Structure 1
Amino acid sequence: MVNRTQPRSGRGNDTRELIMTVAERLYAEHGLSNVSNRQIGEAAGQGNNTAVSYHFGSRTTLVRAIMTRHGMLVDAIRQRYVEAAGDSTDLRDWVRCLVRPVPEYLATLGVPSWQARFAVQVMTDPLMRALVTDESLARDSLRHTLHRLGQCLHTVPPETRRERGEMARHLITHTCAERERSLAEGSAEPGASWDRTANALEDALVGLLTAPTTHRPAAAGPRPVTLQEKETA
C-alpha cells in the first residue's frame, strides 16, 4: 500500500496532471454531474478504474484542484495589475484588475482550451460555487481589488453593489466561455482575440457599475381617512 503522507513521485504528479486535464475537458463538455470518476480514468488511459479516487479522493477535491491550479496563475497576473494601479482612485483601474487577468490567462492556454467552459459548469453548481468562491476570496490580490472597487462605488447603495457584483461575475464567466467555445469551434468573428474580449468586458463593467440607480418610491400604505369621511361614515 502506498503511504500518501510521503512526497508523490514524478510519475504520480504526471498522472495527477493528466487526470485534471482530462477531467476539465469532460466536465466542460458534459457537466459535473454527468461525468463519473471511472469515465475520467478511462479517458486518461488509467488501467485502474479507481485511479481518480486514489489521487483525489472525491469529485469535489478534483474540481477544487483544477480550479486552484488555474486560480493561482490568474492571481499572479492580477497581482501585476494591482501593483500597477497602486493608490489609484479611478474605478476603471480597479475594474481592469478584476477583469483582464482572466482573458489574459486564457490566451496563454492555446486553442482549444476548456478552462472557461469548465468554470461555467463549476459556477452553476451551488456547492462547488461556494467552495471556489471562498477560496478565491482568500487571495490577497482579488480581495484588495474588490475592496478598492467598493471604495470607488461608495455612493452606490450596498444592495445595488451586491446585485451588480453578481451580474459582473456572470458577465465575465459566460463571456469568456463563449469566446473560448467560438475559438475552439473556429466560429469566432474576424479579429476576435482575448485582448479584444478583455477590452469589451472592461468597458461593459465600467458602464454596469456606474449605471444610474432607479429610485423607486416607497410602497404606499393605506390612504388616511379625512375628517369629512369620518363624519359621514
Structure 2
Amino acid sequence: MELSKTGQELVRRAYEGLFPDREYSFDGRIKYSGKFAPYNANVVMRGKQLTFGLSREWMEVSEDIVLGLLQHLLSKLFKAKKTTDNMQLYEIFLRKVHKAAPRKEAPPDLAESFRRVNEKYFSGMMDMPNLRWGSESTSKLGSYHYGSDTVTLSTALRESRELLDYVMYHELLHKKHKYSTKNGRSIHHSREFRKDEARFEDAALMEKELEKLARRKKWKKIFSF
C-alpha cells in the first residue's frame, strides 16, 4: 500500500470544500492499494485520523475528480446531504469509466444468459460487461461493479436458468441506469429502474422463486455434515 505525499492537502481541500463553515482538525491521508477492485475506495476515521483507501487506478485520475471522490466518501461518513461541483465530476466519471474497463472472457453459461436477456429486453443493444461467478450466496445473489464493468452472480443460481436470467437482468439494469445522487445520497434504484425491472416476464413469480431458493439453500446448509 502506497501513502500519497499530497494526500494530506487533498483531504483538507476536500473537507473544506464540502464543509466551508467547519474548522478542519483532522490528520488526513490517502493510501493507494492493489487490493481494491478498480476505482473502489473507502474511508476510515479513528479519532482525528481520516484514512482514505483508494485503488491504484485513482493515481492516474484528474485531481478535481479525486477531490469529488473524497467528498463523496466524506458526505457518507458524516451523513451530509450535500453536493459539490467536484462530486458531480466524480459521478460523471464513474458513469463513463466502464467503457475503458479491460475485457475478460466470460464463463459460457453466463455469456449465454447475457445473450438471452440482451436480445429479449435490450433489443441486443447492451454491450456485454465482464461476467463472473461469485460464491454460493443467497443473501447477495448478484452485483454490478461500475469501475470494472463487472456483473457477479451467485453460484446458487446455476440450478435455474429462469432465475439466473432474472438476476442477470436486474444487474444489467444497474449498468443501464447507473445511479444518481440527491442531497448527498446515492440512488441506485430509481423510479425508471423499478419500471424497467417490472418488465421482466413473470417478475412477481421470479421473486417468490428466489425466496424459495434461499430457504432451500438455508436448509441444505443446516443438514450438511
Q: TM-score, normalised by structure 2?
A: 0.27
**Structure with more strand by fraction:** 2
Larger Rg: 1
**Structure with more helix by fraction:** 1
* Structure with greater contact order relative to length (CA < 8 Å, sep ≥ 6): 1
Q: TM-score, normalised by structure 1?
A: 0.26
